[in-house]
Amino acid sequence: MRKSIKYIMTMATISAMAMTMTGCFGPETSKEYVTLNDYMMLHYTDDDGNEVTATSADGNEMAAVACDNEYVNKYAFEKDGDTYMDISGVKKYIDDRFYYDSTENTVMYTNATTIYTSPVGSNEVTGNTKENLDFTSSVMDGEICYVNLKYISKYIDFDYKYAKANGDKPAVVVVNTKSREDKNGTVKKNTQIRTDADYMADIVSDVKADTKLTILDKGDEWDKVATDDGVIGYILNKRVKVGKTTKVSYKNDYDTYTHNVLDKKISLAWHQVMYSSSNSGLSDMIKNAKGLNVISPTWFSVSDSKGEVSSIGSADYVKKAHSAGLDVWGLVSDFETDGNGDYYIKTVVNNTKARQKMVSNIMKYASLYDLDGINVDFEYINVSEGAGYLQFLRELSIECRKKGIVLSIDNYQPSAWTEFYDRNQQGRLADYVVVMNYDEHTTSSNEAGSVSSLTFTEEGLKNTIDEVGDASRVINGMPFYTRIWTETPEDESDGNGKLIEDAANGNYVLSTKAVSMDAAKEAYTEAGATPSYNEETGQNYVVYEKGNSTYMIWLEDETSVKARLELMNKYEIAGAGYWKLGLESDDIWNTISQYFK
């Protein structure tokens, strides 16, 4: 039967519309090209919030950086045939043990045994001996230090390649640090690499037949690939012929970081020594301390901005401790400030001369007092001192390793604001990493609560283990103190404390004081109150009224201490630490000793 002309024209129109919607020979496809400087992250955000292409202060042609097949927001350039990369990129993507001291204008690399120092712009490097290189180790571009990748490869096993700019494509430095298996491929016919596995994704680059590729990730329809000239993106896998697989592996030197660990669980107590005369009281402090095997007296403090360290140590104290079967780990703190209230440590760790003087002073005391270890308790480090702090730990760890004494490092619980403490790196270079699992609630809190609930402790412990990477060298710090909390109606209060607004029940003043185990028991006993177990915190809890105030105590006692020591066994960690000696009840050592036999 003959179809009408109108029907045929209608069907032709529908067919044409379908072809327009889906493309003549397949899915609709984007013909837009991505801006490569943006795609390859060769840009930064200026003070006005605008994306600006990275430029060189000294006229160098800036190159994008692809590290382990991902573009990163760091820069590099080629100069006199050598490739240089921004020091911050080196630290983040190649090896964090490189360190730039802007005060002394030097680049340092520190491994398990040696510090290598090279002045910026020089071919000299000093380690155990002085060496003249046949290239420059680093250069400045404006105020930024760039390190020669050839210099880095002297110490680190990795590979890199400089792909020159070509048309709209900027120069790219391709860096590989991770062992892998590369699938090789060849483009079958002219096609495009796109920003994503999607026909409508922008085009990164046109690629011709016979172009060599590395297949990074195979998909059902699209493969993620990289070209030899630094282009990374997605290509239709039907356009690629898959070739051989090549294994690439890199070595690291982590096994050179030997650890001086005790052949027993650590049971450590911090002994707060305020004056040198307090050292004579050691025997009384430890007379009931069954199960204790390490004591850490708070003897040393960073005392000026040039690296001096004050001491109230005592050789006689160490002899007595050794006679009692205790190892002594001298604690060094960063609590001292100058006349303006600025902590000395903030200057010291960022200045190589001062920092190394501090290390030398610490080790001098370690020898003078015949210490078994050093316990670093730096609590006033901020992100601006993070790199210098880690360099201090590297330098100190070398000296402790040489002397054969233990290096332990105290840390807050892991959090976003303490990320720069880099517990993973600490775990590599130190013998023990301590997590101070207390101060869950403090004088600055807006509500009463536990000093260290069981859930708080377990979370801090698990997160620390995850970051350190070795549970067997993590020590769980726990409190020997608690807090008595007081809530007093605003109109009945003397004003000492924090005003808490409470629309439902009326405003009140919240105050608190830290007390020993015995003082807490005395307080609730005198009030005639009886504690009960609190499931939420894993502790005994007591509340009582006195006058117009409500008192609350989350108790530290046999119940809470035992629960935390059970976590020690559950997670197979190195041991436990207690802050501080003298705040515990005498009978708590009966509980502790059951776990350290």
In this model, does residue 15 exceed pLDDT 50? no
Domain membership of residue 107 as a residue range: 36-163
Model pLDDT, residue 403: 98
Percent residues over pLDDT 70 in the chain: 96
In this model, does residue 75 exceed pLDDT 50? yes
Residue 219 sits in the same domain as residue 105: no
Per-residue pLDDT tens digits for 449-481: 999 999 999 999 999 999 999 999 999 999 999
Model pLDDT, residue 6: 47
Model pLDDT, residue 11: 47
Residue 108 sits in the same domain as residue 152: yes
In this model, does residue 103 exceed pLDDT 80? yes
Q: Is the residue at 5 inside a domain?
A: no
Q: What are the CA-CA distances from residue 281 to residues 86, 95, 278, 285, 291 (Å)?
A: 54, 47, 6, 6, 19
Closest CA to 175 of 94, 251, 285: 94
Report how many domains make up the chain. 3
Measured between alpha carbons, how far is 273 from 312 in angstroms, rounded to an integer?
8
- CB distance 93 to 256 below 8 Å: no
Percent residues over pLDDT 90 in the chain: 93
Model pLDDT, residue 49: 85
Residue 443 sits in the same domain as residue 585: yes
Model pLDDT, residue 21: 46
Residue 206 sits in the same domain as residue 311: no
pLDDT band for 30, please (50, 70, 90 cuts).
very high
Strand locations in 54-97 (E): 62-67, 70-79, 82-86
The SS3 of residue 49 is coil
Residue 214 sits in the same domain as residue 294: no
In this model, does residue 307 exceed pLDDT 70? yes
- CB distance 156 to 144 below 8 Å: no
Model pLDDT, residue 523: 98
- Give the single-character DSSP code of 160: E
Model pLDDT, residue 73: 94
Q: What is the CATH number of the domain that holds 184?
A: 2.30.30.40
Instruction: Report the chain's mean pLDDT, rounded to a whole number.
Output: 95
Last residue in a domain, options 105, 137, 163:
163
In this model, does residue 508 exceed pLDDT 80? yes
- CB distance 233 to 195 below 8 Å: yes
Report the pLDDT averaged over residues 117-144: 98
Report the pLDDT averaged over residues 301-326: 99
Residue 134 sits in the same domain as residue 244: no
Residue 215 sits in the same domain as residue 357: no
Report the pLDDT averaged over residues 223-239: 97
Residue 316 sits in the same domain as residue 401: yes
Report the pLDDT averaged over residues 170-180: 97
Measured between alpha carbons, how far is 111 from 92 in angstroms, rounded to an integer?
16
How many other CB atoms are there within 10 angstroms of residue 157's CB atom? 13
Model pLDDT, residue 25: 56
